[in-house]
């Protein structure tokens, strides 16, 4: 029998119930789903269902999980969002984690967005060949709304599963608070980095706050160190979103100059921390400064610039740029850094042509800095950024 899919619609009822989920529910980590099997057909909880209707459905029908086919109970309380729950905790976890109130609300809000825009959407459709259940399936796109931290490897693994099915994966970070918009320092953890969208040299992180129906973009990202990045925060109301999801624009020259100022502050912090290093012979900053004959407390501004694709190196931009300069001054090709593994690059699986492209672009900038003033170097740097953005 062909499965019939019922689509989700927006409702204040769903929103209020999602907000009222008690903390005890989160601690129990019960697996909640919005879609279940009803006599072989997919049944999705609808916003227009009244509490009385749902109570009657629970009496008249029995439901099963679309993934494991085990019985699930339709829960219709007064303090919890209506949902299906497995009778045994952790009895089924196909490619996901137990639900949170934020996750349920985000899933229902985005499903309503697609339905309102007459875009066919499947909620929690189980893909048996890969044993995964994306939150939403829209055309050839599997959408995952991730509200809680998880290992970055899990993001990669699940994305690879969708690729095997001929699907394109889009990860959306579910958030409860909205950051201030504009250019500044942002925190991006490894699993969020694994969710990056768009081209490798200028990715962005797509986030969604379901409470305010607001998309939050982290774009024009420049890696600093650890989880610290420079990035631009942009806000887009759900009502103004499109599909495929909107892509952010490149920062302006003025904003790029602001990014340089922010990076200079971060560079100076890093230098001060390195000046206290004990084993200076093995310290990269001390060694590189010595070999390039640089004053450690007055490093030229050409080093430590925000650079497109800098996140492909797992080092402070000051370090990988000093290493590049050393190769140039030594008369060696910059690709030596990659061939001899003299720079720390992102985990395996990355196309090594990309970090080479970044090193080559910085080489162009470094060579031009010998005969140009710093303002001209900034212009060249922004031109290289724009060129990478266009490609």
- Three-state DSSP class for residue 374: helix
Residue among 41, 40, 49, 56 nearest 8 (CA): 49
Q: What is the pLDDT of residues 173-204, one digit of tens each?
A: 999 999 999 999 999 999 999 999 988 899 99
Q: Quick check: 17 pLDDT over 60? A: no
pLDDT band at 96 (very low <50, low <70, confident <90, very high): low
State the pLDDT at residue 101: 80
How would you classify the pairing of strands 35-38 and 41-44? Answer: antiparallel
Average pLDDT value for the chain: 87
Task: Provide the b/e sequence for 10-20 (b: ≥16 CB within 10 Å).
Answer: beeebbebbee
Burial 96-122 (b: 16+ CB within 10 A, else e): bebbbbbbbbbbbbbbbbbbeeeeebb
Report the share of the chain in percent with pLDDT over 90.
Answer: 65
Cα distances from 243 to residues 87, 119, 168, 169, 365, in angstroms, run: 37, 9, 13, 14, 37
pLDDT in tens, 280-303: 888 999 999 999 999 999 999 999
DSSP per-residue string spanning 8-35: ----HHHHHHHHT--HHHHHHT--EESE
- Predicted local distance difference test score (pLDDT) of residue 4: 42
Dihedral angle over CA of 94, 96, 101, 103, nearest 10: -120
Site of tokens 């899990």: 154
Cβ–Cβ < 8 Å for 120, 138: yes
- In terms of Cβ atoms closer than 10 Å to its own Cβ (0-12, 13-18, 19+), residue 157 is middle
Q: Is pLDDT larger for residue 224 or for residue 41?
A: 224
With bands split at pLDDT 50, 70 and 90, how would you rate the model's confidence at 51?
confident
- 150-181, pLDDT tens digit by residue? 999 999 999 999 999 999 999 999 999 999 99
Rounded to whole angstroms, the Cα distance separating 310 from 355 reads 8
pLDDT of residue 349: 64
pLDDT in the model for residue 84 = 86
Give the burial class of 75: count Cβ atoms within 10 A of its Cβ; 0-12 exposed, 13-18 middle, 19 or more buried: middle
Place of tokens 């400064």: 289
CB 355 within 8 A of CB 282: no
Q: Where are the alpha helices (DSSP H) in the chain?
A: 12-19, 23-28, 51-60, 101-116, 152-164, 190-193, 253-274, 284-291, 317-329, 336-339, 353-369, 374-390
pLDDT for the residue numbered 327: 98
Mean pLDDT, to the nearest integer, of 348-354?
A: 78
Q: pLDDT per residue over 109-128, tens digit each?
A: 999 999 999 999 999 999 99
Residue 174, judged by CB atoms within 10 A of its CB (0-12, 13-18, 19+), counts as: buried
**Number of residues assigned to the chain:** 391
């Amino acid at each position: 029998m062909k499965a019939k899919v019922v689509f989700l619609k927006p409702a204040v009822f769903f929103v209020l119930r999602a907000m009222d989920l008690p903390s005890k529910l989160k601690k129990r980590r019960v697996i909640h789903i919005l879609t279940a099997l009803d006599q072989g057909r997919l049944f999705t909880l609808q916003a227009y269902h009244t509490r009385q209707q749902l109570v009657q459905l629970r009496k008249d029908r029995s439901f099963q999980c679309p993934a494991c086919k085990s019985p699930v109970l339709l829960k219709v309380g007064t303090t919890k969002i209506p949902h299906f729950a497995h009778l045994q905790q952790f009895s089924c976890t196909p490619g996901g984690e137990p639900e949170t109130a934020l996750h349920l609300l985000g899933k229902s809000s985005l499903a309503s967005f697609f339905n309102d825009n007459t875009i066919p959407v499947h909620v929690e459709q189980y893909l048996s060949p890969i044993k995964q259940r994306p939150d939403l399936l829209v055309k050839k796109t599997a959408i995952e709304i991730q509200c809680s931290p998880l290992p970055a490897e899990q993001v990669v693994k699940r994305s690879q599963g969708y690729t095997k099915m001929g699907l394109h994966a889009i990860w959306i970070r579910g958030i409860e608070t909205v950051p201030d918009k504009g250019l500044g320092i942002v925190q991006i953890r490894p699993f969020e980095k694994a969710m990056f969208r768009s081209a490798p040299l200028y990715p962005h992180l797509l986030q969604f706050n379901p409470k305010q129906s607001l998309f939050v973009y982290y774009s024009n990202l420049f890696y600093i160190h650890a989880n610290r990045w420079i990035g631009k925060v942009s806000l887009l109301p759900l009502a103004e979103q499109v599909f495929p999801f909107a892509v952010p624009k490149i920062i302006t020259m003025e904003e790029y100059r602001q990014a340089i100022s922010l990076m200079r502050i971060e560079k100076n912090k890093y230098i001060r921390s390195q000046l206290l290093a004990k084993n200076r012979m093995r310290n990269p900053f001390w060694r590189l400064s010595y070999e390039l004959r640089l004053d450690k407390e007055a490093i030229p501004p050409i080093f430590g610039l925000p650079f497109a694709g800098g996140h492909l190196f797992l080092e402070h931009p000051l370090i990988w740029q000093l290493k590049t300069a050393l190769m140039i001054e030594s008369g060696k090709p910059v690709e030596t850094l990659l061939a001899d593994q003299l720079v720390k690059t992102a985990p395996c699986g990355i196309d090594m042509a990309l970090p080479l492209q970044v090193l080559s672009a910085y080489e162009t900038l470094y060579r031009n800095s010998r005969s140009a003033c710093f303002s001209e170097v900034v212009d060249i740097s922004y031109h290289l950024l724009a060129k990478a953005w266009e490609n």
